[in-house]
Structure 1
Amino acid sequence: MECCLHGPLGKRKPKFGGAEELRRHPERRARGSRSSPALHWQTRSFTGKARFSLPVSQGGLPVKTPTVVFDLDGTLVDTAPDLVASLNHTIAALDLQPVGYNDLSYLVGHGAKTMIERACKLGGYDLEEKDMPPLMERFIDFYGKTMPGDSKPYPGLVAALDRLRAEGFALAVCTNKMEALAVTLLQKLRLDHYFATIVGGDTFPVRKPDGQHILGTIDKAGGDATRAIMVGDSINDILAARNAAVPSIAVPFGYSDVEIASLSPNHIIQHYEELTPELVTRLLATR
């Protein structure tokens, strides 16, 4: 058995030999000198192997690595089939006509409560406050029991997450979906282990488009808002990023009810193969 400080147990390595040792090995003086700049790059590894470099301050503490924050529905995962099924199951209790996929851009993005309210509005039902608790319970029960159903990660997502994580980026989720539902969905899709934190619309007192929702997510992930970026598909994501003073990357394959380019994100990717550590680093450098 080896000890990292003293070699084999019981055989303590000799200490550094003071002035005489320095005279015979002057290169060791330079190695211990304090002439290094205030910030330099030093290789770190979570596995003990040199895989990527993190900035290290003069005091020896690593500067926080970049954080990439993702929306969930319409960004990480195509949840449309199961959201529609769960919503139609819910409003069937009111004898309303089912909603369709074409309605999703209007319905999704503000949480389950708003989704139910809007579905009732589409069906011409005058929803009263007393109606909401049993409808929410019906939705959550059905959705929770049937997920992941037909929900799937978007093409190229897993490879993109692997690329970012391999370079030391912290990953997080910031969604207006209820936290418990978001965590369960990602667990069942076996994606939860990628993320330092999964924050829902009920985690904090605020939610997107409030910038504090993103800032709170970054903080829970152990990140720094000056070294973070938001990836999303809707106006709530882009506005929240703007309100948090965080650069945004938009995806056009989600549920936005407006042209994604009209929201003026910092960058648009058409496919997850375009989401690379180099792109994130470049966007952060323009701040």
Structure 2
Amino acid sequence: MTDFPFAIVGFDMDGTLLDTSGDLAAAVNHALESAGRPTLPVDDIRTMIGGGARHMLAQGMARTGGCTDDELDILHHRLLDYYEAHMIVETAPYPHALAALDTLAAQGVTLAVVTNKLERYAAHILDSLGLKDRFACLIGGDTMGPGNGKPSPAPIYAMIDRCGGGRAAFVGDSIYDVKAAKAANVPVVACSFGFLDRPVADLGADAVIDGFDRLVPTLRRLGGAR
């Protein structure tokens, strides 16, 4: 038994636990090129990540001239096919992320991932990086059914239930993460190093960290631990 204030800590994946921007940008640019569109810099695509692949691609298409829903459907499939074959070329954990997970686990905290990425893709990435067994549950953008990805609180509620219940906190980098956690009445920490589409202070998180070396003390402060 420890004095750590949270029994469960959940994490977003893209832009939170893992820097996936290089591989996601490559997939977006593959789809854009296939449609005869100019490619976009990784830094531009980074701000589009967080709401799922279709939403990310729609923003890329809008940036390069727009498209119809039918065209977006076709290009979405092209993006997913490319990404499925090139998921972990550049993807890696952020600095100090694994050490933070180790510290939380040593405190008896149950860890989870809640992402808007398709569950099978998220599982493949975590497994390929040797991280899957660290987490008691993985909830993807399609796990809870249509319309129930973040910012819906449904995946946060499911995370708590699947992790056995108890006081929970969430860590993310997007407005989807913050809205989902707040709707579920769960404290949320925002990562300033993530895939931000606005200043991190404007996300409305309960706390902000500039690196994973600050996560555990920040959670202790949020939880009012002794």
Check whether TM > 0.5: yes
Matched, 1:93 2:37: no
CA contact (8 A) 2:100 2:212 kept: yes
Matches within 5 A, 1:65-214: 66-129=7-70, 131-205=71-145, 206-214=148-156
> Cα distance, 1:162 vs. partner?
0.5
Residue identity (%): 37
Give 3-state SS (helix, strand or coil) of 2:13's partner: coil
Aligned to 2:223: 284
Aligned to 1:238: 178
Aligned to 2:163: 221
Q: Deviations over 1:142-195 (max 9, x none)?
A: 111112111110000011101101111000011111111111111111111111
Matched, 1:270 2:210: yes
Cα distance in 1 for residues equivalent to 2:14 and 2:21: 8
Cα distance in 1 for residues equivalent to 2:88 and 2:142: 21
Give 3-state SS (helix, strand or coil) of 2:155's partner: helix
Please give the TM-score of this superposition, normalised by the length of structure 2. Answer: 0.91
Higher Rg of the two aligned structures: 1
Cα distance in 2 for residues equivalent to 1:264 and 1:199: 23
Q: Which amino acid aligns with 1:69?
A: G
CA contact (8 A) 2:2 2:107 kept: no
> Cα distance, 1:76 vs. partner?
0.3
Instruction: Pick 1 or 2: higher relative contact order, CA cutoff 8 A, min separation 6.
Output: 2
> Cα distance, 1:214 vs. partner?
1.2
Cα distance in 2 for residues equivalent to 1:221 and 1:98: 41
Following TM superposition, where does structure 1 have runs of at least 4 consecutive aligned residues deviating by more than 4 angstroms?
none
> Cα distance, 1:279 vs. partner?
3.9
> Cα distance, 1:259 vs. partner?
1.1
Give 3-state SS (helix, strand or coil) of 1:165's partner: helix
Cα distance in 1 for residues equivalent to 2:201 and 2:66: 34
> Cα distance, 1:68 vs. partner?
0.3
Cα distance in 2 for residues equivalent to 1:105 and 1:147: 15
In the alignment of these two chains, the number of paired residues is: 222
Give 3-state SS (helix, strand or coil) of 1:139's partner: helix
> Cα distance, 1:137 vs. partner?
2.5
Q: Deviations over 1:71-98 (max 9, x none)?
A: 1100000111100001111222211111
> Cα distance, 1:54 vs. partner?
6.1
Cα distance in 2 for residues equivalent to 1:69 and 1:192: 13
> Cα distance, 1:112 vs. partner?
0.7
RMSD after superposition: 1.9
Q: Which amino acid aligns with 1:195?
A: F
- After superposition, the Cα gap between the structure-2 partners of 1:128 and 1:210, relative to the gap in structure 1 and judged at 3 Å, is closer
